[in-house]
């Protein structure tokens, strides 16, 4: 990153970093020196900006089935995945564009200040009996300081390591997600970040360059923050296509479960975690009386 970009980011707004990116995107001379937008300062400026805002959130809520939450606690680890099983088709197909020189792996959190019924219903399991970890900033930052990380793939739910990545071979960033929408006849789209009043507009063509960090505004209620690892495809080598996940070890304090883990508001009470803030206030039937029971092989969408 140039000195100019570093100085600008100290007090930049989203409007400024997006405008600078767009200017460089349409600067033929700048792009001619790079194989993709990943090599221009404007793109890296957006990443740094979203990393700055994403790492300053107060909540990092991860909603999942009770089984998945239990595995995170028991193994003291979670996994960044390449997005192939994410529930947003647009996001799933664009998180790792083919022309990128990097392969990305991520895990999704919600930065909402209070619990969300929608998040419980989407990610807590079809029986509604899931759980949620509200990670603290310190735990995530500590996880980002490991000297190396295992990478591999899943076989029937079991993680199979392929190798080890040195921390210096990956960019690990806790970052906000941008939301776009509202296109009209002038070829421009609205783009913004939840929690920032200023929105800006960006040309559709330029938006294509930042699709791995942007989602449609219909998902903005999630207030999504991601922990993302970007690894050069040259580092992954021939194993790159096989590697679908990176294991992130966690250092969890002895009272972490007591302070940070919550059962669904419609939990059966056997989870042993904290009561949801919404406990006793909601009820839902996700399959309209279909009689689904735990263990019948259905799974909630991943994120």
Long-range contacts, stretch 149-153, CB < 8 angstroms, 24+ apart: 149/229, 149/246, 149/247, 149/248, 149/249, 150/246, 150/247, 151/236, 151/243, 151/245, 151/246, 151/247, 152/242, 152/243, 152/244, 152/245, 152/247, 153/242, 153/243, 153/244, 153/245
Q: What is the residue-averaged pLDDT of the chain?
A: 88
Nearest to 171 by CA among 227, 236, 90, 115: 227
Name the residue with higher pLDDT: 195 or 116. Answer: 116
| Assigned domain for 225 exists | yes
Is position 269 within any domain?
A: no
Q: Is residue 114 part of a domain?
A: yes
**pLDDT for 289:** 58
The tens digit of pLDDT for each residue in 111-154 reads 999 999 999 999 998 888 899 999 999 999 999 999 999 999 99
Residue 226: give the domain boundaries.
60-263
What domain count does the chain have?
A: 1
- 52 domain residue, yes or no: no
For residue 191, tell me if it sits in a domain. Answer: yes
- 9-58 pLDDT per residue, tens: 566 889 999 999 999 999 876 666 666 788 889 999 999 999 999 999 99
Q: Residue 230 falls within a domain, yes or no?
A: yes
Q: Do 263 and 120 form a contact (C-beta atoms < 8 A)?
A: no
Structural domain contains residue 15: no
């Amino acid at each position: 990153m140039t000195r100019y970009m570093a100085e600008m980011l100290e007090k930049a707004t989203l409007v400024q970093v997006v405008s600078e990116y767009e200017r460089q995107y349409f600067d033929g001379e700048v792009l001619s020196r790079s194989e993709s937008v990943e090599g221009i300062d404007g793109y890296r400026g957006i990443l740094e900006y979203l990393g700055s805002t994403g790492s300053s959130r107060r909540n990092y809520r991860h909603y999942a089935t009770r089984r998945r939450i239990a595995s995170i606690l028991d193994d003291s680890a979670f996994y960044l995945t390449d997005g192939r099983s994410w529930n947003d088709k647009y996001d799933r197909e664009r998180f790792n564009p083919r022309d990128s020189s990097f392969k990305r792996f991520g895990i999704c959190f919600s930065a909402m200040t209070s619990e969300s019924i929608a998040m419980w219903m989407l990610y807590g399991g079809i029986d509604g009996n899931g759980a949620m970890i509200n990670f603290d900033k310190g735990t995530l930052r500590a996880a980002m300081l490991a000297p190396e990380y295992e990478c591999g793939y899943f076989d029937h739910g079991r993680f199979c390591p392929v190798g080890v990545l040195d921390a210096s071979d990956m960019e690990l960033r806790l970052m906000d997600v941008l939301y776009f929408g509202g296109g009209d006849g002038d070829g421009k789209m609205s783009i913004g970040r939840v929690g920032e009043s200023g929105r800006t507009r960006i040309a559709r063509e330029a938006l294509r360059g930042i699709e791995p960090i942007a989602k449609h505004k219909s998902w903005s209620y999630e207030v999504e923050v991601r922990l993302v690892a970007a690894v050069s495809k040259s580092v992954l080598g021939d194993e790159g296509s096989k590697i679908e996940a990176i294991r992130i070890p966690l250092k969890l304090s002895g009272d972490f479960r007591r302070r940070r883990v919550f059962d669904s508001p419609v939990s059966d009470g056997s989870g042993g975690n904290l009561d949801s803030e919404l406990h006793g206030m909601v009820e839902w039937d996700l399959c309209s009386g279909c009689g689904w029971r735990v263990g019948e092989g259905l799974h909630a969408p991943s994120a």
